[in-house]
Amino acid sequence: MPIHIIFLAAAIITLAPRPVLSLSASPPPPPPPSLPLLAPIQKDHTTLRYTLSVYLKTPPQRLDLLLHLGGRFSWVDCYSGNYSSATYRHIPCNFSVCVPLDSLACGYCYDRPPGPTCSNDTCEYFPENPLTRKVGLEDALLDALGLPSTDGSSAGRVDVVPDFLFSCAKPDLLAEFPKGTSGLAALGFSNVSLPVQVAEARSLLRCFALCLSGSRSAAGVTFGDTVITYAREPAAEYYVGVTAVRVNGKVVPLNATLLAIDEESGRGGTLISTVLPYTALQTSIFRAVTQAFAREASAAFNLTTIQPVKPFSLCYSARDVGVTRAGPAVPAIDLVMQSEDVFWRVFGANSMVRIQRKGTDAWCLGLVDGGAEARAAIVIGGHQVEDNLLQFDLGSMRLGFSSSVLVRGTTCADFNFTTDNHT
Ligand SMILES: *[C@@H]1O[C@H](CO)[C@@H](O)[C@H](O)[C@H]1NC(C)=O
Ligand SMILES: *[C@@H]1O[C@H](CO)[C@@H](O)[C@H](O)[C@H]1NC(C)=O
Ligand SMILES: *[C@@H]1O[C@H](CO)[C@@H](O)[C@H](O)[C@H]1NC(C)=O
Ligand SMILES: *[C@@H]1O[C@H](CO)[C@@H](O)[C@H](O)[C@H]1NC(C)=O
Ligand SMILES: *[C@@H]1O[C@H](CO)[C@@H](O)[C@H](O)[C@H]1NC(C)=O
Ligand SMILES: *[C@@H]1O[C@H](CO)[C@@H](O)[C@H](O)[C@H]1NC(C)=O
Ligand SMILES: *[C@@H]1O[C@H](CO)[C@@H](O)[C@H](O)[C@H]1NC(C)=O
């Protein structure tokens, strides 16, 4: 059955300029007339991170890039195997994409022959590895970006964005990236992120959707709808306005000050990350939530904890845990937004992680302690986002989300983008 993103959106989050996504009960945006562009996403089971496939250069070359929801701009290793393309261009330093925030540097080149990584009066960016926080200083380039598109009846055509802006990077910036990746795909809150450039190039709405799959065999997909600097700050991450956490319907007592973003320091708040495998909670929140979870699992599900398996701290014998369509039968965790009836419900499939090794077969609560001084109170990680459909509408500053699509009997790996007149 073809699935249309819009009809899965159960709630809408408002993107505030920060960008804080606070949930609002407003109706979902009208359905887009088409779903033109999409890019397959694969999970790398070694690093527990996600990669997105695109085509770059002329003739087009397929690249796998680390998916980074909080990235400002994309970057690609231009050094390994020689950057060869008939369509690349440098950007003169006086162009607007080179103004502070996006770039602070203007590059010149004396020591090498001119090429993709050597040019005079050229805009330079500061590509950052989000896993190691290492930063480079490299030429920005424009080149042809290809994304598969669907015309409503078949997938497989590749549509080209002629002047896609990205930064070069040296291969050592790829440290800790999934094997086979050659850069980073930035989907963050910025004017030069991948979805925004695609939208601009095609005069479409600034809108994209993300459906991550943990499946080993099939790919999840992100797609533009009518689609939608050395600047560690301001962040390009998407924040969600979580005001409370419930476990099995009961509010967990928390220091609510931490849940709000401190305007001065920028600390606190809840953000969504695709480069963190598991949700990280500030220490006091982590303790409160795991305690509440253990209590409810025992009282309502008759579950007894076993010796925990690192990095987790709350585990149950898989033998004792029942199974539902939405994963193991455990207390649901609700991330409550600005009103009680607007919440992101995390079912067992997203809250629990199966650990099978050395005679252990356990389901562990897939949350980790982010530390007492964590930058954000809650960082929602990849495992908790899988099989949830998220639609980011940067035009109206809203995020539509589905909660687990598993309860609807489907998964992000099963998405079929060939639709019958989009019905
Ligand atoms: C890259 O280009 C240089 C100089 O043109 C050449 O010596 C080298 O073999 C090339 N490397 C690859 C991997 O193609
Ligand atoms: C950049 O500088 C060049 C040469 O000085 C000039 O011709 C061009 O109009 C400038 N472009 C912008 C966008 O300011
Ligand atoms: C950059 O300009 C310098 C000085 O004019 C010149 O020596 C060098 O060859 C130029 N480099 C490139 C890549 O054009
Ligand atoms: C995008 O650019 C516009 C105009 O230059 C600016 O007002 C806006 O703040 C920028 N948005 C982001 C997310 O950088
Ligand atoms: C709550 O957190 C804030 C920010 O870290 C802290 O200043 C405050 O003392 C905390 N309140 C309690 C009751 O722990
Ligand atoms: C709870 O589990 C224990 C064993 O783990 C079992 O003996 C007991 O009957 C269970 N109680 C209920 C009410 O299911
Ligand atoms: C996807 O949907 C189309 C149209 O309904 C159908 O013809 C096609 O077989 C489906 N593909 C898959 C892989 O399910």
Whether the full predicted model's pTM is greater than 0.85, yes or no, is: no
For residue 230, the model assigns a pLDDT of 32
Indicate the pLDDT class of residue 95, thresholds 50, 70 and 90: confident
**Cα 142 to ligand 3 centre (Å):** 20
Best residue for ligand 3 mutational test, from 89, 111, 118, 120 (most atoms within 8 Å of Cβ): 120
State pLDDT tens for residues 219-233: 444 443 322 233 334
Residue nearest to atom 13 of ligand 6 (CA): 302
pLDDT tops 60 at residue 312: yes
Relative to the CA of 96, which ligand 2 atom is closest? 13
Q: Is 121 a pocket residue for ligand 2 (Cβ < 6 Å)? A: no
**31 Ramachandran zone, left/alpha/beta (phi>0; psi -120 to 50):** beta
For residue 68, the model assigns a pLDDT of 94
User: Where is pLDDT greater, at 41 or 162?
Assistant: 162
**Cα 92 to ligand 3 centre (Å):** 14
**CATH architecture, domain defined by 238-414:** Beta Barrel (2.40)
Q: Which ligand is nearest to the CA of 306?
A: 6
Q: Is 114 a pocket residue for ligand 3 (Cβ < 6 Å)? A: yes
Q: Locate CATH 2.40.70.10 in the chain.
A: 35-203, 238-414
CATH number corresponding to 35-203: 2.40.70.10
Relative to the CA of 96, which ligand 4 atom is closest? 5
**Cα 97 to ligand 2 centre (Å):** 13
Structure tokens at 376: 């954000």
Residues 6+ apart with CB under 8 A from 66: 49, 50, 51, 52, 130, 177, 178, 181, 183, 184, 185, 275
Best residue for ligand 6 mutational test, from 301, 302, 303 (most atoms within 8 Å of Cβ): 302
**Cα 55 to ligand 1 centre (Å):** 22
For residue 381, the model assigns a pLDDT of 95
**Cα 171 to ligand 1 centre (Å):** 15
State pLDDT tens for residues 333-389: 999 987 888 888 999 999 999 999 888 999 999 999 999 999 899 999 999 999 888
Q: Which ligand is nearest to the CA of 298?
A: 6
Relative to the CA of 115, which ligand 3 atom is closest? 13
Structure tokens at 268: 């606190």
For range 321-327, the mean pLDDT: 92
**Cα 191 to ligand 4 centre (Å):** 6
State pLDDT tens for residues 174-217: 999 999 999 999 999 888 899 889 888 877 778 788 888 777 65
